[in-house]
């Protein structure tokens, strides 16, 4: 694996993105409050403009927001769970990404502001995800016209939600997509070591600290609904997994694809050359991100049509 981007034009843009992220992450330390980190993330990632067609809603007690772009079909819906280590991030930080995926898929999207740690530790986020899916079903959407997606911690949450929903007897959605999903809170994969020098942002110690805050001091990092890499994946819908080859959590995606395929789940794994964690957030600057989002949209369309 090389650090060079698949599209050489992305190299300079990616360097600028990494520098911008490091300026924020570099001022964080042990004494930095979660409130400060949340504000910094809003500044770093929240777009200046909102899509015109947005509407907040209460989805079984969970804050959510409808987001729709041009040519959205009202009978198709994407549930999206944002990343942020289960502690930061929001619909606002991911609204641009959610809109781009919804436009690529030709659907409405429902962004979910699930409860965050440390105020609400595991399994609060999973319970919120299940509650929102139930609410969408109650609005009359057919499971075959629903898709689920998420990035980083939100990708792990999307997968955990599928496992929880299947276990409770709910019908599965048509498909699910995970962007750089964090599926192993034990951080046991070899890539946490082998990709450490290549990943400019996330290192194992940082991720283990986030996991401990989410799980609590006595939490089990291999609990299947917290780390769905260890879950029984039988009966899940088709999965699309996208990950950058510079990521320390690369093996979270590789391991997920291997385990899902072993249980008969239709699984597509895309490893993007030279890309960093959730590179799709930077579609305004990276051509590779735009192509990845187009791939997600096409994946959902094939399962809906």
Tell me the per-residue pLDDT of 4-56, one tens digit each, with 9 for 90 and over: 456 667 989 999 999 999 999 889 988 899 999 999 999 998 775 565 578 99
Which pLDDT belongs to residue 280?
A: 97
Burial bucket for residue 43 (CB in 10 Å: 0-12, 13-18, 19+):
exposed
Mean pLDDT, rounded, for 99-111: 95
Has 198 been annotated as catalytic?
A: no
Residue 15 lies in a domain: yes
**5 lies in a domain?**
no
User: Active-site residue among 103, 127, 247, 270?
Assistant: 247
pLDDT tens profile 194-214? 999 999 889 999 999 999 999
Least confident of 62-71, 111-120, 256-265: 62-71
Domain count, the chain: 1
pLDDT of res. 2: 46
pLDDT bucket at 3, cuts 50 / 70 / 90? low
The reply to whether 148 falls in a domain is yes
The rounded mean pLDDT for the chain is: 94
* Residue 247 annotated among the catalytic residues of the structure: yes
Q: Are 69 and 103 in contact (CB under 8 A)?
A: yes
The answer to whether residue 3 is domain-embedded is: no
Residue 4 lies in a domain: no
Q: For the CA atoms of the chain, what is the radius of gyration? A: 18
Give the alpha-carbon dihedral of 7, 11, 17, 21, to 10 degrees. 110
pTM over 0.85: yes
- Residue 1 covered by a domain: no
Angle at 207 between CA 90 and CA 232, to 5 degrees: 85
- Calculate mean pLDDT across residues 60-70: 93
What's the pLDDT score for residue 17? 94
Inside any domain, residue 125: yes
pLDDT higher than threshold 50 for residue 89 = yes
52 is catalytic: no
> Cβ-count burial of 60 within 10 angstroms (0-12 exposed, 13-18 middle, 19+ buried)?
middle
Q: What is the 3-state secondary structure (H, E, C) of 279-298?
A: HHHHCCCCHHHHHHHHHHHH
Percent of residues, the chain, with pLDDT higher than 90? 87
The active-site residue, picked from 152, 180, 253, 288, is 152
Q: If you average pLDDT over residues 99-104, what whole number do you get?
A: 95
Domain assignment present for 222: yes
Assign residue 39 the CATH number of its domain: 3.40.50.1820
Per-residue pLDDT tens for 111-124? 999 999 999 999 99
In the prediction, which pLDDT does 9 show? Answer: 72
Residue 159 lies in domain: 10-304
Catalytic annotation, pick one of 94, 277, 282, 288: 277
Q: Has residue 1 got a pLDDT over 50? A: no
pLDDT tens digits, 121-154 = 999 999 999 999 999 999 999 999 999 999 999 9
């Amino acid at each position: 694996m090389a650090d060079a981007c698949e599209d050489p034009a992305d190299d300079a843009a990616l360097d600028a993105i990494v520098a911008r992220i490091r300026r924020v992450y570099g001022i964080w330390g042990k004494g930095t409050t979660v409130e400060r980190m949340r504000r910094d993330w809003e500044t770093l990632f929240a777009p200046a403009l909102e899509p015109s067609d947005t509407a907040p809603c209460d989805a079984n007690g969970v804050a959510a927001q409808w987001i729709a772009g041009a040519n959205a079909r009202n009978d198709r819906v994407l549930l999206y769970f944002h990343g942020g280590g289960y502690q930061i991030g929001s619909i606002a930080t991911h609204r641009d990404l959610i809109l781009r995926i919804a436009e690529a898929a030709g659907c409405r999207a429902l962004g979910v502001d699930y409860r965050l740690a440390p105020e609400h530790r595991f399994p609060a986020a999973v319970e919120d995800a299940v509650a929102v899916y139930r609410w969408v079903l109650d609005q009359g959407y057919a499971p075959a016209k629903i898709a689920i997606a998420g990035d980083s911690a939100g990708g792990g949450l999307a997968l955990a939600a599928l496992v929880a929903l299947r276990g409770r007897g709910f019908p599965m959605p048509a498909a699910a997509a995970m962007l750089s999903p964090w599926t192993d809170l034990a951080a046991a994969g070899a890539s946490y070591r082998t990709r450490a020098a290549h990943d400019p942002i996330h290192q194992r110690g940082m991720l283990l600290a986030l996991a401990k805050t989410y799980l609590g001091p006595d939490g089990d990092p291999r609990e299947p609904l917290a780390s769905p890499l260890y879950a029984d994946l039988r009966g899940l819908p088709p999965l699309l997994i996208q990950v950058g080859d510079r990521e320390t959590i690369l093996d979270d995606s590789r391991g997920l694809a291997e385990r899902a395929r072993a249980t008969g789940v239709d699984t597509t794994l895309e490893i993007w050359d030279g890309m960093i964690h959730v590179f799709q957030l930077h579609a305004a600057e990276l051509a590779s991100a735009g192509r990845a989002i187009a791939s997600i949209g096409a994946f959902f369309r094939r399962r809906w049509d």
